[in-house]
Amino acid sequence: MNMVNAILGKKLGMTQVFAENGDVIPVTVLKAGPCVVVQRKTTQSDGYDAAQLGLVEVPPPRRVTKAREGHFKKASANPVRFLREIRLAADGGDVNVGDKVLVDLFTVNEFVDVVGTSKGRGFAGVHKRHHFGGGTGSHGSMFHRAPGSIGASAFPSRVTKGMRAAGHTGNVQVTARNLRVVQVLTDDNTLLVEGSVPGPQGGYVLVHKAKAPHK
């Protein structure tokens, strides 16, 4: 027996809501689902239990490759842009191709992990990329935004791997953990979670129940 414990969605933006005691709560609005199970993987056929979810969007994609067209046709599903494979828990109901996954999977005050792709910032220096403090800005130090020493010349006579330096910043997968669910709007397939979520407005996200929730 298996259960889907995640859903696909899009980041719509941030706003704020008021708690009953008047506190202001910053929230991120997520369009969560509806999703459909496009493919089912089992221990017998694939060595593990998983379900491939597709995010249903309107309008659907205009162009689909022949390979993807055959993939969706095999599942008798309409083409979608965003697909992700979800490992299945071992304590839920059975999951089959064509099943729907909706936002009512989550409840208020539950904790979730949100996986997204951070905003790409291009090539950046160590100040912006790694939050270096830099040197003094006066008295002709000539050391303002430089990274400092990157290794000794005698030994090992090279720059060690993993040294923090300037380079491409952002556009990587980021997981925001233990975000509290503030509201679940089932009629609009919308989820409001406390705090910020990685990625730009309109970016795709994966929302799943927190793996290590707050006690």
pLDDT-above-90 percentage for the chain: 39
Residues 144 and 191 in one domain: no
DSSP character at residue 88: P
Residues 17 and 45 in one domain: yes
How do residues 119-145 score in pLDDT, each as one tens digit? 999 999 999 999 998 888 888 888 888
* DSSP assignment string, 104-160: GGS-TT-EEEEEEEPPP-EEE-HHHHH------SSTT---SS-------TTTT-SPP
How do residues 159-210 score in pLDDT, each as one tens digit? 999 999 999 999 999 999 999 999 889 888 899 999 999 999 999 999 998 8
Residues 195 and 157 in one domain: no
Query: Does residue 1 form part of some domain?
Result: no
Report the pLDDT value the prediction gives residue 215, as an integer from 0 to 100.
61
pTM: 0.81
Lowest mean pLDDT among 55-59, 82-86, 201-205: 55-59
Residues 91 and 108 in one domain: yes
Count, residues in the chain? 215
Residues 23 and 89 in one domain: yes
Residues 41 and 19 in one domain: yes
Residues 125 and 196 in one domain: no
What's the total number of domains in the chain? 2
Q: At 88, which CATH number?
A: 2.40.30.10
* Displacement of CA 37 from its chain's centroid (Å): 19
Domain range spanning residue 133?
121-169
Model confidence band, residue 1 (pLDDT cutoffs 50, 70, 90)? very low
Residues 101 and 42 in one domain: yes
What count of other Cβ atoms lies within 10 Å of the Cβ of residue 40? 20
